[in-house]
Amino acid sequence: MATATEPKVGGVSAAPAKTAPGNPVSKSGRKIGGVSKKAAHELAAKPVGGPAPAAPAHADFVWNGGPVITCPMIYTTFWGSSWTTTPSGLSEAGRLSQFCQDLVASQFMNVLSQYGASNGAGGGLFMQASFVNSVPASISDTDIHNILQTAINSGAIPEPPANNTTHVIIIYLDSGVAVKDAGLGIAMCEPSGDNAFGYHYFFKTAAGNPCYYAVIPSLDDTCLKNTGCGGGGCSLNLGQTQEQRRTQVTSHEFAEMVTDPAFPTGWFGPNSDENGDICNGESAFITVGANTWDVQPTYSKTDDIATNGASYCRATAPAPIPKLSPGPASITAAMASAQHMANYRPFLPLPTVFHDANTKQTTWDHNEVQRYMHRFFYPLQKDQVMGNFTATLRQFADILDKKK
């Protein structure tokens, strides 16, 4: 969770009051998982100069038996009108989707492999981007659940699987959308009372399946100033670009969401909180191809054990860090094979989709669909590949519907 004040409150999962007896409780008392301004207990947890400790600094950070996302499949969704009404908005959305695509391809994943969250770099997929308009200016977490459900109902976002260890959603809000939820103690990019930079949570869809998501606010200068961060002393600062803030918070939330999607039943410590919280406010970079991105390092329990608490925050590892035990079940052999052989990547990302939160209707950009199909068949025309191509696709769809 990324929060802006102490105690940390950004980042939502199952509230402790609703968890089974014996589940760990956050030291900060927060109800959710996410990103904050550095809190006192986070600052105190960092290793400092002097003799190295004789034991891991975060021995309480363990797997608590809950779900872990073993093969992250990311869907980005951009809420608010400015993403689609300005050229800069479309460009920013494209950059953030590219960041998510690069994140799962990068050595950042080699750090998360120790928790069973993928098998390392390239162990995840960026699936699709969507845009959601007609979003109210101030929304609660319940509103977020409802909008996501309508997007699922209309096909803008797929229904997550019953035992969801793959699908995650990253919601990016524009500057015209703020979050305020008194019950969860969250206020993001509101004119006053801001206390969070991002959070992650989950809910059960109408079909009864767990839907895991993270929420990243606009994090523009006004948003930071509303949190009281104009003078510094926060995990984000005015010296960063808006994109750097967004990617840093995204990496924090993503690392927590895939290792502890049903807070706090995954990888979590009652004193340490989640892996992103332990390293909150740290900054590093990843490079994938021609792109270099600002990220937050995440906690490595393997390094913490190996160094007796002297060093444990890292953004990359040259090879996948071996899986810790005890931990969640390993990624299935079939999915691992598909990842290594890149069976899915020629089909990804899927065409961008558009959803209206008011009318609850979903539409597709015709040019985007044409470009997607052109990518598969060029230099051939579609009817040179298959006679009456569009009619054949309709027949395929009918066959698939009958199989349901």
Q: Please indicate, yes or no, if residue 374 is contained in any of the structural domains.
A: no
* pLDDT tens for each residue of 33-61: 766 666 433 444 455 445 556 799 999 99
- Within 18-154, residue ranges assigned H as helices are 40-45, 82-85, 87-105, 108-112, 141-154
Q: How many domains does the chain have?
A: 1
pLDDT at 21 over 80: no
Write down the pLDDT at residue 16: 30
Q: Please indicate, yes or no, if residue 376 is contained in any of the structural domains.
A: no
Q: Give the closest residue to 274 by CA, choosing from 145, 168, 115, 120.
A: 115
What is d(CA 153, CA 112) in angstroms, rounded to the nearest whole number?
32
Poorest-pLDDT segment among 36-50, 79-93, 101-115, 208-222:
36-50
Q: Please indicate, yes or no, if residue 215 is contained in any of the structural domains.
A: yes
In terms of residue numbers, what domain contains 284?
2-364
Compare 51 and 253 and report the one with higher pLDDT.
Answer: 253
pLDDT at 24 over 70: no
* Mean local confidence (pLDDT), 294-305: 98
Would you place residue 226 in the very low, low, confident or very high pLDDT band (cuts 50, 70, 90)?
Answer: confident
pLDDT at 311 over 50: yes
Q: Please indicate, yes or no, if residue 57 is contained in any of the structural domains.
A: yes
Q: Please indicate, yes or no, if residue 207 is contained in any of the structural domains.
A: yes
- Tokens at 206, concatenated: 């109408």
Q: Please indicate, yes or no, if residue 392 is contained in any of the structural domains.
A: no
Write down the pLDDT at residue 26: 62
Asked if residues 246 and 236 have their Cβ atoms less than 8 Å apart, the reply is: no
**Average pLDDT value over all residues in the chain:** 87
Write down the pLDDT at residue 340: 59
What is d(CA 238, CA 251) in angstroms, rounded to the nearest whole number?
19
Q: Please indicate, yes or no, if residue 393 is contained in any of the structural domains.
A: no
Q: Please indicate, yes or no, if residue 294 is contained in any of the structural domains.
A: yes
* pLDDT tens for each residue of 110-148: 999 999 999 999 999 999 999 999 999 999 999 999 999
pLDDT at 29 over 80: no
Q: Name the residue with tokens 């093969």.
A: 71
Q: How many CB atoms lie within 10 A of CB 46?
A: 15
Q: Is the pTM of this model over 0.85?
A: yes
Beta strands in 274-393 (DSSP E): 284-288, 291-295, 298-299, 313-314, 353-356, 362-364
Would you place residue 13 in the very low, low, confident or very high pLDDT band (cuts 50, 70, 90)?
Answer: very low
Close Cβ partners of 100 (under 8 Å, ≥ 6 residues apart):
74, 76, 126, 170, 250, 254
Write down the pLDDT at residue 255: 98
